[in-house]
Structure 1
């Protein structure tokens, strides 16, 4: 690989790292091509890019990015998953794949510049995703006016029952 190719790869990784809200470094040693292809397909469907990198190129590329704190931790066989939209989705996919594959391992991550160990990444994967949090928020916001209307409807219904009771009582007399 000549200098121009290396410079292009470094710039590509740097651009991805700048855009990504999470960068997860994984170990893929011993995985088959089929397993890697399946992992990439699942990640791609969730707007997560997965790239095998040389450690020296990754160290250089991560300089002056928000994920600079992890640049000195690249060792052995590394691949990086860049999550752009929701960091929880990337963490969930990688942790689930780690459970399925005995050879795959998520080593560490950088979440908006904060270093996360593998155990913290597993904790992150257990959180609800962005879409689920939005749904919960909207459900809560919708519940307030709905409950308010129900409360007044019950008051009116109770008053109508009382008035009907008085009417029936007067008709009997």
Structure 2
């Protein structure tokens, strides 16, 4: 890899780090190509990506912005999982690490904060952005539905009374 390619890779990583809600740093030693493809597919379904990175290029892309703690994450065979949503990449990576003992979560970072394994697990336990949106919409719609039901109840009762009188007179 020549100097221009390295500079391009660093710029790409800087863009990935800036656009990501959270970056999960993982070790993938011993995974087969099929397992890596499966992991990439699972991440893609959630809108996340997985990239195998060179440690020195990732450290240069971070440029000491987060500190030495983040630089220490990049040791050994490292792949990063990231997505615009801070939770989705952490969820998939943590679940895959539970299912496959060759894959492990080392840590990660979110903005300027470095996360250890427990921090990434805590992040993975949070509801996703779509789940939060669904809960919020449900909370907003619930009072309107109840008001509509309350307003319709007297009209429905009145209609039943009229129907009862009509059937009584017809009989």
Give the structure-2-normalised TM-score: 0.82
CA contact (8 A) 1:67 1:110 kept: no
Question: How far off is 1:44 after superposition?
Answer: 2.2
Gaps of 5+ in 1: 168-173
Match for residue 29 of structure 1? 29
| Number of the residue aligned with 1:97 | 96
Contact persistence 1:55–1:78 (CA under 8 A): yes
C-alpha displacement of 1:103: 0.7
Report what 1:12 is aligned to: 12
Report the RMSD for the aligned CA atoms in angstroms: 2.6
- The aligned counterpart of 1:70 is 70
Conserved 8 A contact 2:106-2:116: yes
Task: Find the counterpart in structure 2 of residue 60 from structure 1.
Answer: 60
Unpaired stretches in structure 2, ≥5 consecutive residues: 166-171
How many residues are paired up?
A: 162
Q: Distance in 1 between matches of 2:66 and 2:138?
A: 34
Deviation at 1:65, TM superposition (A): 5.7
Contact 2:27 2:77 in 1 (8 A): yes
Q: TM-score, normalised by structure 1?
A: 0.81
Structure 2 contact 73–106 (Cα < 8 Å) conserved? no
Aligned to 2:124: 125
